[in-house]
Amino acid sequence: MNGAQSLIRTLVDAGVDVCFANPGTSEMHFVAALDTVPEMRGVLGLFEGVVTGAADGYARIADKPAATLLHLGPGLGNGLANLHNARRAGTPIVNVIGDHATYHKRYDAPLESDIEALAGWLNGWVRHSKSTADVGADAAAAVAAAQDAPGRVATLVLPADVSWGDGGQTCAPVPPRTAKPVGETTVKAIAEILRTGEPVALLIGGRACREAGLRATSRIAAATGAKPFVETFPARLERGAGLPDIERLGYLAEQVSYQLTGIKHVIVAGTRAPVSFFAYPGKPSDLVPEGAQVHVLAEADQDVAGALADLAALVAPDTEPQLAEAARPALPSGPLTPQNWVDVIGALLPERAIIADESNTSGLLLPAATAGAPRHDVLTLTGGAIGYGLPVATGAAVAAPDRPVIGLQADGSALYTISALWTQARENLDVTTVLLNNRAYAILRMELQRVGAEGSGPKANELLDLSGPDLDFVRISEGLGVPATRATTAEELAEQFSRALAEPGPHLIDAHVPPLL
């Protein structure tokens, strides 16, 4: 057994049986070894950002890591942006980065670089496999490290000779560090704050955004009057009829200021106190209202849902959660607008859908339109590095082949990782992408005003404009193997969306929705 074979066998034994890959020469023994471990599924991406984003989307839905396979430093470099998003999401990922043979590194061949420097940027776990005999143990350690609560990016650098050498040994799975319980003292202290009668905001994130955490949060809010909020960009939020519909904290500082008006205590569970996404001249970075206190119920690496349940047992023992009723918008008509396209989604969202949301400015009105739709998961852009949507939808569909995946995708962001569509076609994934085409970096047009940039004129506006030439996403999608249609009215979007959902395999709808602003 060579090193690559021991690596893949160990991964599979630890439950990691999908590998999103964009290999090169230094990874050829890993590629060859796939044929010796039939349980491992290899999924090809044509760009590393697709690979890493898919691994993120996969794990958010499967609740276990996928592996990636990337080619040396530049390959990892191309994958970093979506790994940054995964880091912010607390997503477990096992990166396998091929490196030159150990004895080859000193020659500084063209692709030589400091891979650890890039991997270290992710603040996760990094190990360089030193010998073939150790690869199995290194792999088991990587899987455990990735799954240490709440989850992180674990990177294993695999030199080519360590991979091709004989003497590989598989290693039994290593248990990860589970989420630490929150102490009774902390829960009781938070309960006391809720009993003061002062205005409280309860901000939840991470694992609290699943059903158990949402129900406990809703009960606490209903019993105490605390205002509950979900963090601005949750990794995975369960929503829809039968679940509590808890408002997300806004993206804009102005929204958050409004949402937290009058609050005296901010209780955080599984997330951090709110900060502005960017700095703006003369505006605060810290969005906790002046004079308000922040109290931590649970850190991200703790058992957040358990802590919320304990807190609910103290302060809301007899209170039921407030659940969203089944309700959908009526099917709208007329030319597409920022309002009616979300109504189409709300009206037609299928059962058990997964929404990969990178709709950006076009999606501002989405949450209200889907609150009473059938139960679904929403995945969001946790780290702000755009180009996450199409890959994450791809990975989510690999994780849940029995569920419809809906990608809501801004045009500008789509171009970063557009070849994810090809992987969707190749794997025949049931992903419906609604491409929100407003022909601009619309969010930057807004931001140009918000930062108070003086003197901007035609040259500035040109850098935020995606027309001239217009992007024809129907042709791009078809060129990548995904059938596509164009919608300019709500009726067309509804008809095309329904048809795409009814047919197996991926589809794209180029929806011409004018900018919100």
Q: Does 249 bind a second copy (CB under 8 A)?
A: no
Task: Say how many CA atoms lie within 13 Å of 288 toward its Cβ.
Answer: 15
Rounded (5°) CA angle 351-355-357: 160
Report the residue number, 13 or 161, with the smaller CB distance to a second copy. Answer: 161
Q: 390, 403, 408: which is closest to 476 by C-alpha?
A: 390
Question: Measured between alpha carbons, how far is 212 from 308 in angstroms, rounded to an integer?
Answer: 9
Q: Does 460 bind a second copy (CB under 8 A)?
A: yes
In which element (H, E) is residue 160 found? Answer: helix 160-164
Report the residue number, 5 or 218, with the smaller CB distance to a second copy. Answer: 5
Question: Measured between alpha carbons, how far is 143 from 175 in angstroms, rounded to an integer?
Answer: 9
Minimum CB distance to a second copy, residue 95 (Å): 14
The Cα-based distances of 297 to 202, 214, 291, 300 in angstroms read 9, 15, 19, 10
Question: Measured between alpha carbons, how far is 217 from 316 in angstroms, rounded to an integer?
Answer: 10
Question: Measured between alpha carbons, how far is 172 from 169 in angstroms, rounded to an integer?
Answer: 10
For the record, the structure tokens of 233 come out as: 């960009």
Report the residue number, 353 or 393, with the smaller CB distance to a second copy. Answer: 393
Q: Contact 355/363 with Cβ under 8 angstroms? A: no
Q: Are strands 265-269 and 237-239 parallel, antiparallel or unpaired?
A: unpaired
Minimum CB distance to a second copy, residue 347 (Å): 29
Q: Does 252 bind a second copy (CB under 8 A)?
A: no
Residue 157 is which amino acid? V
Minimum CB distance to a second copy, residue 510 (Å): 10
Site for a second copy in 163-192 (CB under 8 A): 164
Pattern 74-93, a second copy, x by CB under 8 A: xx-xx-xx--x---x-----
Stretch binding a second copy (CB under 8 A), from 145-153, 214-222, 255-263, 456-464: 456-464
Pattern 38-77, a second copy, x by CB under 8 A: ----x-x-xx-x-----------------------xxx-x
Cross-sheet strand order for the sheet of 431-436: 237-239, 376-379, 354-358, 405-410, 431-436, 507-511, 484-487
Pattern 320-359, a second copy, x by CB under 8 A: ----------------------------------------
Site for a second copy in 365-404 (CB under 8 A): 382-385, 387
Site for a second copy in 466-505 (CB under 8 A): 466, 468-481
Site for a second copy in 263-302 (CB under 8 A): 272, 275-279, 281, 285-286
Size of the site for a second copy (CB under 8 A): 104
Stretch binding a second copy (CB under 8 A), from 107-115, 206-214, 218-226, 399-407: 107-115
| Binder among 17, 104, 174, 294 for a second copy (CB under 8 A) | 104
Minimum CB distance to a second copy, residue 480 (Å): 7
